[in-house]
Amino acid sequence: MDELFEALTLIQTKKVSNFPVVLYDSRYWSGLMNWLRDTMLEVENISPGDLDLLRMSDDPQEICELVCDAYLQNEQLEKVDPNRETSIR
């Protein structure tokens, strides 16, 4: 759990390039996601954009597509700005 939130913090603070944070197995992760949305977001301890950093999926094909799409998007962004952060790729 600690590593999950550490990864999100690094993405938010732009210490690493944005990469997909995918939570596999919705039965396992749905309690956390509900708590984040219904408690943390409700009392404004997090912003809606924070939740957008997390993707939950039960479909390995969808997860592969998310990772590949993110890689291609980062590759395009690197062409536009070769000095952008490139760690965690």
DSSP-derived letter for residue 83 is: T
pLDDT band with cut points at 50, 70 and 90 for residue 5? very high
Which CA distances in Å does 20 have to 13, 59, 73, 82, 89?
Answer: 15, 15, 11, 21, 11
pLDDT band with cut points at 50, 70 and 90 for residue 14? confident
How far apart are alpha carbons 54 and 21 in whole angstroms? Answer: 5
8 A C-beta contact, residue 47 and residue 54: no
**pTM metric for this prediction:** 0.79
In this structure, what token pair is assigned to residue 9?
A: 């913090």
Q: Which of 15-19, 57-61, 63-67 has the lowest mean pLDDT?
A: 15-19
Predicted pLDDT of residue 62: 97
Alpha helices (H) along 1-89: 2-12, 26-35, 48-52, 60-80
Alpha carbon 77 to its chain centroid, in Å, reads 17
